[in-house]
Structures are given as structure tokens and as C-alpha cells.
Structure 1
Amino acid sequence: MPNISNRALHMPPSPVRKLVPFALKAKQRGTKVYHLNIGQPDIETPETALNALKNIDLKVLEYALSEGNIEYRKALTEYYHSLDFTDLTPDHFIVTNGGSEALNFAISTLCDDG
């Protein structure tokens, strides 16, 4: 069997995954559960978003840039400029696939081991 890293050996289980059985039991009891831990929305997708996907005209579905779509990062910049954060540029933003990835980046950037 291949060796794995010390980091992987000492990595605790995901706290989110520990909560799933509790959420399932609560739902079985009739409790309304808001799943903030997964990309499983409790609201309907807007019709405009669904239509955009249905009518997309792509020859290749390609990967986005690692830092995220430039148009979206520009829109974030404009939004924060409207809140008087005028020193921000699109290069200040990294768009992630989800909250867990964003938190991992943030904590890894700010914290050293131990």
C-alpha cells in the first residue's frame, strides 16, 4: 500500500460530514433543515438562469481560469467600489467552486501548521 502524507494521516474528518446524520434524523422528525453545508439549494433556480443554460451556444465547455471568470471579478470590483472600497481591482478576487474551497484557501493563507 502506498504511503500517504503526515498531513493526511492527521487530518480530522470533515465537521460538515459529521453533521449529516443529525440533519437526516431531524428531517425524519419533521424538523425543517437548512443545508448550508452543501451546494443543494432549498430555493428554486430563477427561470432566467435555467433559460440561459438551455439556450447556451458553446462548442466547447471549457474550464474557467483558476482565479475565476474575469467578468465576474470585474463586477465584484464595481460592487465593492460602490461601497467605497476603491483600492480593489479584479486581481484582488479569487472565485472558488464553493465555500469549503474558499475557507481552505483563506485559512491556509492566514495560518501556519500548529
Structure 2
Amino acid sequence: QPDIKTPEVMLEAVRNFKEPVVEYSHSAGIRSYREKLTGYYAEHGIHITADDIIVGAGASEAILFAMNSIADEGDEIIIPEPFYANYNGFAINAGVKVVPIPSSIDDGFALPPIDAFEKAITPRTKAIVICNPNNPTGYLYSREELEILRDIVLKHDLFLIADEVYREFCYDGKEHFSVMQLEGLEQNVI
């Protein structure tokens, strides 16, 4: 159970709430909140609009929604392995087959060779999913590796689903580079 005291300012706001009818918010999330998020992303060199954002209950829900939105039952998604175990559950829920491409501990779990992606792509492939920094390895994809992924995604008209939930956890002087900063990928990145 949580052991952090609820802030008094929040409790006071609830006590003083006087709206007679509480409406559902927009399905993409409250617009003012989405507009605030654009400021956060702008601070990280990512220039998007509130209309580009859909608020979810967390990365897991967002990834599940993405898989359900872009793929039909029997379609495939490619994921460099090892990967976050729950991706399998999301794929099962969406009726999607995970096609893993192993990365190697010998090179620190860097992006697998591009040939491995080319061999794995079929007419049923809809997306490549990455976690950057990776869960569970902690590997941080470089800009160059992400550009390689961008090129293959565009070549095959796929989506690149990027789970960047750990973007603030980069160490040893390394900086996170988001796939949303890659030119030309605007219509293919989630």
C-alpha cells in the first residue's frame, strides 16, 4: 500500500470541487494537459502539437492501443530481443505474432544487424517495436542505430513503436535521442 501522504492542496481541491456535472474528457485526453505535454517535449527537442498526443494510463496501455490500432489478427511485429516480457501479452491481446530478432550480449545488446530485420519482414509485418533505453538490458540506442531503423521502416512502410518510458534514465554521460526527432518518420512513429 502507498505510504506517501496525499498532498493537502489536492485534498483541499477535492473538498472545494463544486461542479454539478462531471463530464467525460476528450478520448485523447484533456486538451490543456496535452498542450502542456508539448512544452515538455519541446524542452527535449521534439516539436509536436497537442493533436499529435493521446494520453493513456501509462506506456503499457499506449503500446497495447498502438498494436490494436495498426495491426489485424495474424499480422506481425518485430522486436529486438531481449525485450520487456509484457510485449508478448500485448501482442496476444491484439492477435499479433511477435517476431523476435536476437541481439547479442557480446556487443552489449546493440541493434541487431539490419540484414536480420530484412529477413524477418514479411507482407504481414506492420511494425518494429523498441524500448529505448531497453528493458531489461538498459542498452541505449544511438542516433545512428535509430536512423537505420527509420530507413528500414520507411523502406517497408512500417510503423516504429518506441517505448521511451525510461528516457530520463541515461547514465555515464549518455543522452537519450528520441525517434520523434528523426526527420521523415513523422507519419510512421508511435
TM range (shorter): 0.5 to 0.7
- 2:46 equivalent to 1:85: yes
Judged with a 3 Å threshold, the aligned counterparts in structure 2 of structure 1 residues 46 and 103 are, in CA distance, closer, same or farther, namely farther
1:52 maps to what in 2? 13
C-alpha displacement of 1:110: 4.3
CA distance, structure 2, for counterparts of residue 112 and residue 42 of structure 1 = 43
Judged with a 3 Å threshold, the aligned counterparts in structure 2 of structure 1 residues 41 and 76 are, in CA distance, closer, same or farther, namely farther
Judged with a 3 Å threshold, the aligned counterparts in structure 2 of structure 1 residues 104 and 42 are, in CA distance, closer, same or farther, namely farther
1:70 maps to what in 2? 31
Structure 2 stretches lacking a partner, 5+ long: 75-190
Flag the structure with higher strand content.
2
Judged with a 3 Å threshold, the aligned counterparts in structure 2 of structure 1 residues 61 and 78 are, in CA distance, closer, same or farther, namely same
Question: Normalized against structure 1, the TM-score is what?
Answer: 0.53
Question: Normalized against structure 2, the TM-score is what?
Answer: 0.34
Structure 1 stretches lacking a partner, 5+ long: 1-39
1:15-65 CA distance string (max 9 Å, x none)? xxxxxxxxxxxxxxxxxxxxxxxxx75533322222211111212111111
Flag the structure with higher helix content.
1
- 2:98 equivalent to 1:109: no
Query: Kindly, what percent of the aligned residue pairs are identical?
Result: 45
C-alpha displacement of 1:109: 3.1
- 2:87 equivalent to 1:95: no
Judged with a 3 Å threshold, the aligned counterparts in structure 2 of structure 1 residues 48 and 89 are, in CA distance, closer, same or farther, namely same
CA distance, structure 2, for counterparts of residue 106 and residue 41 of structure 1 = 30
CA distance, structure 1, for counterparts of residue 62 and residue 5 of structure 2 = 24
2:178 maps to what in 1? none
CA distance, structure 2, for counterparts of residue 104 and residue 82 of structure 1 = 27
- 2:22 equivalent to 1:61: yes
CA distance, structure 2, for counterparts of residue 42 and residue 90 of structure 1 = 34
- How many aligned positions are there? 73
